[in-house]
């Protein structure tokens, strides 16, 4: 039993040490850090074995890993952020963001689900011309008089649909890959919208690009004025240092954490036969001026992601 406990503890201690010193230039470390909420759980059992067998070394190492795990998950386990005075009368909007999955044989059922969400703002990623035609046939876009669409073959087409007027809509290229952004005029408040799809840090040559993208997104959010919503497929969880830097640099808050659901909402991989969705790599992030009323995940039929649907309040604005 002690040997098995050490076999579990040793790699977890190595992963924890790499995180502490900031070494993350390998996909295995990216996956381990992304799975921080559950990857380190065996350390608690190993610490219990160490205590039961009176093995001080095992107890100390496994216990240290467990303590680190508690510290690293604490930011996502906060109680929900109280809504400020006046939020009850502020303008409410609903945002839905979904990675469609390219290629996908049929996006019709996903289009029906997103239509039923009755979102005021809709962000789509991995949007191809074929997906666009399938989704249009469902009536998904009928409620939106304004949009900016950059559908492309491959994984980096995207679009923003809005019930509110859009301006300054454009495709921009953080890290050299296209994303879309715009400004929505919501009952007198200019809200900056960023639809995000980052490269997954699943190969060594992609890790630098992933970091560059998140750094550029954070800088763009910080450089602007007024409230902002930054949402989409980040291919990142809180366990990844580049994502935490994005939150800090852009002064961004995660809607799931604000709603008290930091460890509950998972979005990927959806539709697996063996594992349920384990990671939340799809996020709705907001700056000051936006309050999170509620957030939930959709089903995401036809995709490997669950959509995220967030109810937001434009803080301080009263219709």
Do 7 and 43 fall into the same domain? yes
Give domain status of residue 275, yes or no. yes
Burial class (CB in 10 A: 0-12, 13-18, 19+), 87: middle
pLDDT of 85 over the 90 cut: no
- pLDDT for 319: 41
Give domain status of residue 29, yes or no. yes
Give domain status of residue 165, yes or no. yes
Q: Which helix (H) or strand (E) holds 273?
A: none
Which residue in 243, 254, 262, 253 sits closest to 77, CA to CA?
A: 262
C-alpha to C-alpha distance for 199 and 173, rounded to whole angstroms: 12
Do 96 and 46 fall into the same domain? no
C-alpha to C-alpha distance for 293 and 256, rounded to whole angstroms: 10
Domains contained in the chain, number: 2
Do 126 and 250 fall into the same domain? yes
Q: Mean pLDDT across the chain, nearest whole number?
A: 95
Burial class (CB in 10 A: 0-12, 13-18, 19+), 151: middle
Do 302 and 226 fall into the same domain? yes
Tell me the two tokens of residue 301. Answer: 């039929």
What average pLDDT does range 85-99 have in this prediction? 92
pLDDT classification of 88: cutoffs 50, 70, 90: confident
**CB contact at 8 A, 100 and 127:** yes
Task: Residue 251: give the domain boundaries.
Answer: 87-314
Which residue in 67, 21, 59, 22 sits closest to 40, CA to CA?
A: 67
Give domain status of residue 63, yes or no. yes
Domain end: 15, 41, 76, which one? 76
Residue 138 to residues 122, 131, 299, Cα–Cα distance (Å): 15, 11, 17
Do 69 and 110 fall into the same domain? no
Do 135 and 202 fall into the same domain? yes
Domain end: 32, 53, 76, which one? 76
pTM: 0.95
Checking DSSP bridges between strand 282-286 and strand 228-233, what pairing results, if any? antiparallel
Do 113 and 46 fall into the same domain? no
Task: Summarize pLDDT for 274-318 with one digit per residue, the tens.
Answer: 778 999 999 999 999 999 999 999 999 999 999 999 999 998 444
Task: Summarize pLDDT for 33-80 with one digit per residue, the tens.
Answer: 999 999 999 999 999 999 999 999 999 999 999 999 999 999 999 999
**CB contact at 8 A, 97 and 281:** no
Do 179 and 216 fall into the same domain? yes
Do 71 and 113 fall into the same domain? no
Give domain status of residue 319, yes or no. no
Domain end: 76, 104, 125, which one? 76
């Amino acid at each position: 039993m002690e040997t098995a406990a050490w076999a579990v503890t040793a790699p977890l201690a190595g992963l924890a040490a790499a995180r502490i010193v900031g070494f993350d230039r390998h996909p295995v470390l990216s996956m381990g850090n992304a799975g921080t909420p559950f990857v380190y759980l065996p350390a608690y059992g190993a610490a219990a074995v160490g205590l039961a067998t009176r093995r001080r070394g095992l107890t100390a190492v496994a216990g240290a890993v467990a303590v680190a795990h508690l510290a690293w998950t604490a930011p996502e386990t906060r109680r929900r952020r109280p809504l400020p005075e006046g939020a009850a009368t502020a303008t409410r909007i609903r945002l839905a963001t979904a990675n469609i999955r390219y290629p996908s044989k049929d996006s019709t059922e996903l289009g029906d689900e997103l239509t039923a969400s009755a979102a005021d703002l809709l962000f789509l990623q991995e949007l191809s011309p074929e997906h666009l035609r399938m989704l249009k046939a469902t009536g998904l876009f009928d409620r939106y008089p304004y949009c900016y669409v950059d559908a492309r073959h491959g994984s980096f087409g995207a679009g923003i649909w809005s019930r509110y007027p859009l301006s300054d809509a454009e495709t921009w290229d953080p890290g050299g890959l296209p994303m879309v952004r715009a400004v929505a005029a919501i009952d007198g408040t200019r809200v900056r919208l960023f639809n995000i799809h980052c490269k997954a840090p699943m190969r060594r040559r992609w890790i630098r690009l992933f970091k560059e993208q998140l750094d550029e997104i954070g800088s763009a959010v910080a450089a602007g004025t007024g409230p902002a919503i930054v949402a989409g497929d980040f291919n990142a969880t809180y366990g990844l240092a580049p994502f935490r830097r994005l939150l800090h640099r852009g002064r961004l808050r995660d809607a799931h954490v604000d709603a008290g659901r930091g460890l509950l909402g998972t979005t990927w991989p959806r539709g697996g036969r063996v594992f349920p969705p384990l990671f939340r790599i799809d996020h709705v992030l907001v700056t000051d001026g936006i309050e999170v009323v509620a957030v939930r995940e959709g089903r995401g039929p036809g995709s490997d992601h669950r959509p995220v649907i967030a109810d937001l309040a434009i803080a301080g604005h009263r219709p």
